[in-house]
Amino acid sequence: MRGLLSLKRHVSISAIQASCNPQRLYNSRFCLKNVSTVTYALSLAESLRSNILRTEIHSCKIKHGFSNDIYSQNNTVKMYMKCGMFSDARQLFDEMPERNLVSWTLIISGANKIGEYAMAMGLFIEMMRTEYFMPNDFALSSIMKSGISMGAVEFCLCIHCISVKIGLENNVFVGSSILHMYSKYGAIEAAERLFESLNDSDLGSWNTMVGGYAQCGHSFEAINLVSSMHSKGVPMDEFTFIHALNACSTTSNLDFGSQIHGQIVRKGFEAMVTLMNSLIDMYYKTNAKDHAWKLFETMENKDIATWNTILALSSIEQVGPLFTDLMIMGLQPNRITFSILFRMCGDAHVVNLGLQFFGLAFRIGLHNDPNVSNCLIGMFCRCGAKETARLIFNSLPSKDLQNWNEMIHGYNLSCDLEAIKLFMNLWGSSSTIEPNEYTFSCALEACFKTENIQTGRQVHGIIIKSGFASNGHVSSSLVHGYAKSGFLTDSYAFFDDKMDIVTWGGLISALVDQGYTKEAIEVFNRLKDDSKKPDEFIFVSVLNACATIASLNLTKSVHSQVFRIGLDKDEYVASALIDSYGKSGDITSATIGFHESWRFADVALFNTMIMANANHGLVTEAIEVYERMKSMNLKPSQSTFVSVLSACSHVGLVDVGRMLFRSIVMDYKMDPSPDNYGCFVDLLSRNGYLEEAKRVIEGMPYQSWPGIWRSFVNGCRIHGEKELGKMGVKKLLELFPEENAEGYVMLSNIYCEEGKWEDSWKVRKEMIDKDIRKDVGSSWVSV
């Protein structure tokens, strides 16, 4: 014993000296006479990470005859991997005359650590085929990680079967890995059964299950499981809280999120930056923005992820000052930072600010990062700077499929022909990049938008050749495109009852958009007859069809199906239901639907209810809905003001209308849209403020359009302002000759109301001489 301690001391001193002066290593004499001393020396080489010491010990081991000892060989493999020399470890492993389970487990885990997942899987299969070793819990959990990382679902299922066969399924390490696999691929029911079967679930298993629920969209179950952990006294760590906060964000459960915050403070986890970032994100997504900002301002330690989180939650007006503070703190923005900034500038159409960020990204050297370049191309395309986007695209040293997709999609926003050309360049190039379903969908959209059916059929042929014809999104684009272009026969011929629900939805949506309401409802009934479950998008399309034909009975029928499936709480479906009931004359049911769903705090939902009340003359109720929306700190959209101004127009609330119109700019810093101007002019004209209406039209930053002059002329006719009316008609005929039929009719009516029958007849005769015909009136109301 005394000799061994003396040897350890001698080896340690020699190794330290060698690390300082490699020449001394060769003058030292290690007493590597047995396996214990070899093991200790190898362990010392691991801790010092000295390449010279590692080589010397390996040489001494061979010299003293330990090269074939499996125990020392395993430790040498382990040493090489600890020192970051996996290739040397693999070479030594391949040269080993004899291997045991530890040897295989070491090399498999080493391949995992450096990301060589395919190699790890190959080694595991080789071990099972040639050595017939029974893998242990460490080997199984390690190889499961490889399978998950490679997306090899069938391989992972085989590993699960092996663990069941050898009785390790209920092992906490193996069980946790299998739980993670099932959660990763959405098999949450299988994960639940496995979790319940685990005898001694450790914290890792609980966290995996909570994270699996949150990842698979079962946020309520995740929250319930965290509550169960608390009631059973299971200790929770930062990963538990992060998963729970993600679930709270998804369900907008601010109360439970606040309780989690209290637990974080109680356990002293406030210094964990990652956890604080999740808290900020939760508060913002649950509409508690003040709490999110307060937490951000009180955080002592902020990393770049913290700043990225708060930047993503900010408005475009706040981005500049925040980014300045970030730079003052000495932090360097990363690729995520620039991706967020370019996306925000693109959404807000603020190209000048985006150019400044681009200059900084260029200086740092991140402009060619795939994610950053994609967002940069997207920003310029959304801001209308297609040429700049194309320059960025052309300057990329190497283009991946995401770059091509982003550029094709950017052209799709306005330059559809360029999108088609770019797709053809991709397809005809010698590049190894192959289009995916998103590429084909964008190309089809461009073809059908430009009514370039021949090219669309060529793209269709390429899709079939590439094997994407059965893809749900691509087939949906084909069906939708043919139907939208009026080729219903082609659309039906390509459509197959066996296609997925996305394709069904594409066909129904296209039929509704093209006015084929009866056909859309027939396809919907066919979908039900085939025992397929409609999704929220299909219900929205069908309800839009019901609203178009004002069919109350059909709306009620669809509503019952929505309720039965459980989609009545979806904000889009709820909004479509309110609109359909309102346009079908049942404002009571629309109001009931709104009161059951307004807690979703969706602006579109409020807009729909305001318009429904306005169309029914319930102006007081429409204003109340608008005030409720403001009390919930929801920012009105331009569509909101269209609805509420229309409501004011119905009952002559001119002063309220003026205040609302001014608030668009004064309170919400938005530019009034053409629709806002149209509603305001209609409000003024209906109520006799014709000179003011004329000034509004002439002072608009937009070119006038026929509808706004018709509103003005109609107001002149109602209030007997004949001269202004004639001026409005002349403007209408002068600026929009294609609207001459309606303009002549309005002028003739003005003369009639003045009693000037000869002038009225002259106008009518001029219409006859110029072969100008008024469209025949029709009614779609069924009696």
Nearest to 353 by CA among 383, 332, 330: 383
For the segment 530-570, what is each residue's pLDDT rounded down to a tens digit?
Answer: 777 888 889 999 999 999 888 899 999 999 988 888 888 78
DSSP letter at 315?
-
Q: Is 366 among the domain residues?
A: yes
Q: What letter represents residue 401's amino acid? A: L
Q: How far apart are CA 268 and CA 285, in angstroms?
A: 24
Nearest to 278 by CA among 299, 268, 267: 299
Q: Give the mean pLDDT of the chain.
A: 79
Is the confidence at residue 649, as pLDDT, over 50?
yes
Q: Is 241 among the domain residues?
A: yes
Sign of CA dihedral 388, 389, 392, 395: negative
For the segment 157-194, what is each residue's pLDDT rounded down to a tens digit?
Answer: 888 888 888 888 777 778 788 888 888 877 888 888 88
Helix ranges, 216-365 (H) = 219-232, 238-251, 254-266, 273-285, 289-298, 304-312, 316-328, 335-348, 351-364
Tell whether 295 and 207 lie within a shared domain: yes
Domains in the chain: how many in total? 3
Q: Is 286 among the domain residues?
A: yes
* Mean pLDDT on 698-716: 85
Name the least confident of 169-173, 348-352, 672-676, 761-765: 761-765
Q: Is 468 among the domain residues?
A: no
pLDDT of residue 497: 61
Residue 266 structural domain: 202-301
Out of 595, 623, 648, pick the residue that ends a domain: 595
The burial of 627, by beta-carbon neighbours within 10 Å (0-12 exposed, 13-18 middle, 19 or more buried), is given as exposed
Tell whether 247 and 324 lie within a shared domain: no
Place of tokens 């409609």: 534
Q: Is 547 among the domain residues?
A: yes
Q: Is residue 408 within 8 Å of residue 443, measured between CB atoms?
A: yes
Tell whether 220 and 292 lie within a shared domain: yes
pLDDT of residue 456: 83
pTM: 0.59
pLDDT bin (cut points 50, 70, 90) of residue 6 is very low
For the segment 760-779, what is each residue's pLDDT rounded down to a tens digit?
Answer: 666 666 656 555 555 555 55
Residue 284, domain CATH = 1.25.40
Q: How far apart are CA 253 and CA 188, in angstroms?
A: 22
* Mean pLDDT on 221-232: 86
pLDDT bin (cut points 50, 70, 90) of residue 41 is low
Is the confidence at residue 640, as pLDDT, over 90?
no
Q: Is 220 among the domain residues?
A: yes
Tell whether 294 and 246 lie within a shared domain: yes
Out of 562, 595, 628, pick the residue that ends a domain: 595
Q: Is 217 among the domain residues?
A: yes
Q: How far apart are CA 729 and CA 369, in angstroms?
A: 58
Other Cβ atoms closer than 10 A to 196? 9
pLDDT of residue 500: 72
| 494 or 168: which leads in pLDDT | 168
pLDDT of residue 357: 92
Non-local (6+) Cβ contacts of 72 within 8 A are 35, 38, 39, 42, 61, 66
Task: Take residue 384 and report the two structure tokens written for it.
Answer: 């209308």
Task: Take residue 187 and report the two structure tokens written for it.
Answer: 């098999």
Tell whether 280 and 325 lie within a shared domain: no
pLDDT of residue 680: 92
The burial of 686, by beta-carbon neighbours within 10 Å (0-12 exposed, 13-18 middle, 19 or more buried), is given as buried
For the segment 101-137, what is each residue's pLDDT rounded down to a tens digit?
Answer: 888 888 888 888 888 888 888 888 888 887 667 888 8
Sign of CA dihedral 438, 443, 448, 453: negative
CA angle 353, 354, 357 (to 5 degrees): 95
Q: How far apart are CA 500 and CA 478, in angstroms?
A: 13
Highest mean predicted confidence (pLDDT) among 81-90, 352-361, 608-617: 352-361
Tell whether 339 and 291 lie within a shared domain: no
Out of 359, 380, 398, pick the residue that ends a domain: 398
Tell whether 297 and 216 lie within a shared domain: yes
Tell whether 222 and 295 lie within a shared domain: yes
Q: What letter represents residue 419's amino acid? A: A
Q: How far apart are CA 742 and CA 717, in angstroms?
A: 14
Tell whether 353 and 388 lie within a shared domain: yes
Nearest to 491 by CA among 471, 514, 507, 470: 507
Tell whether 329 and 292 lie within a shared domain: no
Q: Is 512 among the domain residues?
A: no
For the segment 274-288, what is each residue's pLDDT rounded down to a tens digit?
Answer: 889 889 888 888 878
Q: How far apart are CA 508 and CA 504, in angstroms?
A: 6
